[in-house]
């Protein structure tokens, strides 16, 4: 009944559109149905996770991923397929271990954070000081934690969208810096995750000059229980890693040329790199697959404008979006919109469009096409189209933002559980359907998001 009501609502919306927009909506609706039955996104995800797996920036696996991306785009019929090489930093993990040596000896499960400093040979052993939040740590005076291993056990909230992560990532990213300011010799943080397994979650951190690692959530709670007993808790930590300030990195690009305005383009993509514990399935093979499959479907309709897919090569450690924007600054005026898929494969429940564009016939056509997918077009404008779009956004390029159901995403992301079996092919296809409808309605229309934004002021 609900699906029937959604379909009826979409039909009613289409009936009120002018003829050109109704044609756009009809084609977008047909693309939606094709996308729901199309296996391309699943096949791309399976291929990347099976043939390459983990692929941190600066690793041999990332070199293989670059070559995989080129061959995949060519095999799917994209033109002008090429690699854009740039340099950015590379942090690679070595052997790691942690254990409580007193008062109750036990092993701990950790993963080093990006930009962590290695421990000296033989490791570090020191007493723990534990804080329930980053705010508690920051309330400590400089030098007050000299010689200690600082632990922050702040809990992340589970939310449908990105809000829980956005409010909870601070301890991972800047906690080590704050601990070092206060004299700590190492820093451990409860994983920024919503799971309850003993699999820790890694991620990037600001350089602090001290060893930094994420604890599994049960191990963080174990430390809380031990500290609460009042006896000094000591940990031995051993971590190895390598860091290069400059290492080769790659953005892989392919296009489907527009039939009338080939110099105008819609840019979409995901990031090709992935942290090393898992296979990088939800983060971000899924995003690569969704946008590539959607672009292929939309491009098969030969739209007016060019569709460009970018597999950004260094999102996790940073630099790919800025490198792309620098390389393409002369094209900025011709880039109609940019968007990145980087929140797994959960269904899209909310679509945010560039400011002032909701009333444009093309975006009405898009809304009509995605209504049966239970994707609500928000009245709030898009603010941030993904980390790799920030460079272009800073140069004035409009962004789009599709919010996915992230209820389970942070159980998996940056952990050994980020594997192919966690992706639901039907949910993946729903994402492709929404993206294909958007890409097509923009690429085959004359919508100018800069103009709609200016008119909305």
E strands along 286-442, which residues?
A: 305-312, 335-340, 348-352, 376-377, 401-404
CA distance linking residue 379 with residue 355, whole number of Å: 9
CA distance linking residue 420 with residue 283, whole number of Å: 10
Quick check: is 315 catalytic?
Answer: yes
The verdict on whether omega for the bond into residue 286 sits within 30 degrees of 0, i.e. cis, is no
In the structure encoding, which two tokens stand for residue 144, read together?
Answer: 């007050």
Q: Check if the beta carbon of residue 116 is closer than 8 Å to that of residue 239.
A: yes
CA distance linking residue 59 with residue 195, whole number of Å: 28
CA distance linking residue 213 with residue 187, whole number of Å: 7
- DSSP one-letter string for 411-456: HHTTSTT--GGG--HHHHHHHHHHHHHHHHHHHTS---HHHHHHHH
DSSP alpha helix (H) spans, 182-262: 217-228
Which residue in the list 178, 264, 301, 315 is annotated as catalytic? 315
Cα torsion through 119, 125, 129, 133, rounded to 10:
30
DSSP state of 283: I
Residue 126 burial class via C-beta count within 10 angstroms: exposed 0-12, middle 13-18, buried 19 and up: middle
Annotated active-site positions, please? 315
């Amino acid at each position: 009944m609900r699906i029937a009501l959604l379909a009826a609502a979409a039909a009613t919306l289409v009936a009120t559109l002018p003829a050109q927009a109704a044609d756009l909506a009809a084609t977008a609706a047909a693309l939606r149905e094709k996308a729901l039955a199309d296996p391309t996104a699943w096949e791309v995800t399976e291929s990347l996770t099976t043939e390459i797996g983990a692929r941190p920036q600066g690793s041999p696996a990332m070199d293989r991923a670059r070559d995989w991306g080129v061959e995949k785009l060519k095999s799917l019929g994209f033109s002008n397929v090429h690699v854009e090489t740039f340099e950015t930093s590379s942090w690679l993990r070595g052997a790691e271990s942690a254990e409580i040596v007193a008062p109750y000896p036990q092993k701990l499960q950790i993963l080093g954070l990006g930009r962590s400093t290695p421990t000296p040979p033989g490791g570090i052993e020191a007493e723990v000081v534990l804080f329930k939040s980053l705010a508690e740590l920051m309330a400590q005076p400089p030098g007050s934690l000299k010689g200690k291993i600082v632990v922050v056990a702040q809990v992340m909230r589970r939310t449908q969208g990105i809000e829980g992560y956005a409010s909870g990532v601070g301890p991972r990213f800047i906690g080590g810096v704050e601990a070092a300011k206060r004299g700590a010799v190492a820093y451990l943080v409860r994983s920024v995750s919503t799971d309850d397994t003993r699999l820790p979650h890694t991620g990037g951190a600001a350089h602090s000059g001290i060893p930094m690692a994420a604890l599994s959530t049960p191990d963080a709670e174990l430390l809380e229980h031990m500290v609460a007993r009042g006896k000094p808790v000591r940990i031995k930590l051993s971590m190895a890693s390598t860091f290069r300030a400059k290492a080769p990195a790659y953005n892989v690009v392919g296009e489907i040329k527009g039939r009338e305005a080939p110099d105008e383009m819609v840019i979409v993509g995901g990031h090709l790199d992935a942290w090393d514990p898992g296979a990088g399935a939800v983060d971000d093979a899924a995003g690569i697959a969704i946008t590539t499959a959607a672009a292929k479907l939309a491009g098969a309709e030969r739209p007016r404008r060019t569709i460009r897919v970018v597999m950004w090569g260094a999102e996790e450690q940073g630099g790919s979006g800025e490198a792309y924007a620098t390389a393409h600054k002369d094209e900025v005026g011709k880039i109609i919109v940019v968007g990145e898929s980087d929140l797994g494969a959960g269904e899209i429940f909310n679509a945010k469009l560039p400011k002032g564009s909701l009333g444009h016939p093309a975006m009405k056509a898009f809304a009509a096409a995605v209504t049966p997918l239970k994707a609500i077009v928000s009245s709030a404008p898009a603010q941030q189209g993904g980390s790799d779009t920030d460079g272009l956004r800073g140069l004035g390029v409009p962004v789009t933002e599709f919010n996915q159901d992230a209820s389970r995403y942070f159980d998996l992301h940056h952990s050994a559980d980020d594997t192919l079996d966690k992706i639901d092919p039907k949910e993946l296809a729903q994402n492709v359907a929404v993206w294909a409808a958007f890409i097509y309605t923009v690429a085959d229309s004359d919508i100018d998001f800069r103009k709609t934004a200016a008119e909305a002021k």
